[in-house]
Structure 1
Amino acid sequence: MLIWVLLIAVVVVLGYVRLAPSEVTEWHVAPVGDSDVNGKGSVLRVLRTGPDALKQFDAVARAGAGTKVLAGSLDEGMITYITRTKVFGFPDYTTAQQQGEILRIHARLRFGRSDFGVNRKRVEAWIAQMPSGG
């Protein structure tokens, strides 16, 4: 009986993780900071680039596996993406904002306390794929 209760609990939790709505007002917020930061469940990258960096970053991010746009646009100058892990569907949110020559990219997890560097690795890989090289 205990095994069935645990199994049902796991299914409920994983269902919530995969199906929980993403509140745009909570996740589509401008990145803040003037220097790179590595956190346990987040990363901030501040790039001094040309004015087309958001367009380049957007093309790379949209091509990323399991990634889709949550909110924003190139015209707005800020886009938030949601990327889900393959197996369990854990969501990570990445917001990129262009302000003149500065591109700020903030990636963070939604559930848990640590992402084991997944957001940092993803953001750095996306930056490396940009035609300008970030």
Structure 2
Amino acid sequence: MKKMALWAVVALVVGAGAYVRLAPSDPARWHVALVSTESQNLPGGVLRVVETGPDGLQRLDEIAQTTPGTKVLAGSVSEGMITYITRTKWIGFPDYTTAQQDGDTLRIHGRLRFGRKDFGVNRARVDGWLAQF
């Protein structure tokens, strides 16, 4: 009986891990325009509003594209808005970061998909990208 319970727990953990790694990412849900006017730290992410000049999105894209585990989910520099998906190395937890250029202002929203708290991961990544400006 204990052995069967152990296998059930193992199957549950493996199944949850597979779902986290393989769940599709719907651009319609994650690639959305930002309306924030001020920077904020959130339990599940971060909002940053910074004055970068008109080329802020281009510069951020160059930095983000070199970040391990990060790829474009939707958008482009020419569209004025990009959403990236960054996955953790081991389990593959996805985080989404949307960046939008509005004149000289760059708005960035980094947030988690699963859970309620990201333990500062999105803040560290977004602030790290901005530090490279």
TM-score, normalised relative to structure 1: 0.96
- Whole-angstrom distance in 1 between the partners of 2:35 and 2:18: 32
1:7 aligns with 2:10: yes
Superposition deviation, residue 103 in structure 1: 0.2
- Whole-angstrom distance in 2 between the partners of 1:23 and 1:51: 28
Q: After the TM superposition, which residues 50-61 of structure 1 pair with which residues of structure 2 at under 5 Å, given as runs?
A: 50-61=53-64
**Residue type at the aligned position of 2:87:** R
Per-residue CA shift, 1:75-131, capped at 9, x if unaligned? 10000000000111000000000010110000000000001000000000001112x
Q: After the TM superposition, which residues 102-113 of structure 1 pair with which residues of structure 2 at under 5 Å, given as runs?
A: 102-113=105-116
Per-residue CA shift, 1:24-45, capped at 9, x if unaligned? 0000001221100100111000
- Whole-angstrom distance in 2 between the partners of 1:93 and 1:41: 11
Unaligned residue ranges in structure 1 (runs of 5+): none
Work out which of the two has the higher radius of gyration on C-alpha atoms and give 1 or 2: 2
Other-structure match for 1:16: 19
Other-structure match for 1:120: 123
Superposition deviation, residue 67 in structure 1: 0.2
Q: After the TM superposition, which residues 16-55 of structure 1 pair with which residues of structure 2 at under 5 Å, given as runs?
A: 16-55=19-58
TM-score, normalised relative to structure 2: 0.96
Unaligned residue ranges in structure 2 (runs of 5+): none
Q: Percent identity?
A: 62
Superposition deviation, residue 48 in structure 1: 1.1
Give SS of 1:51's match.
coil
**Residue number among 100, 104, 119 corresponding to 1:101 in the alignment:** 104
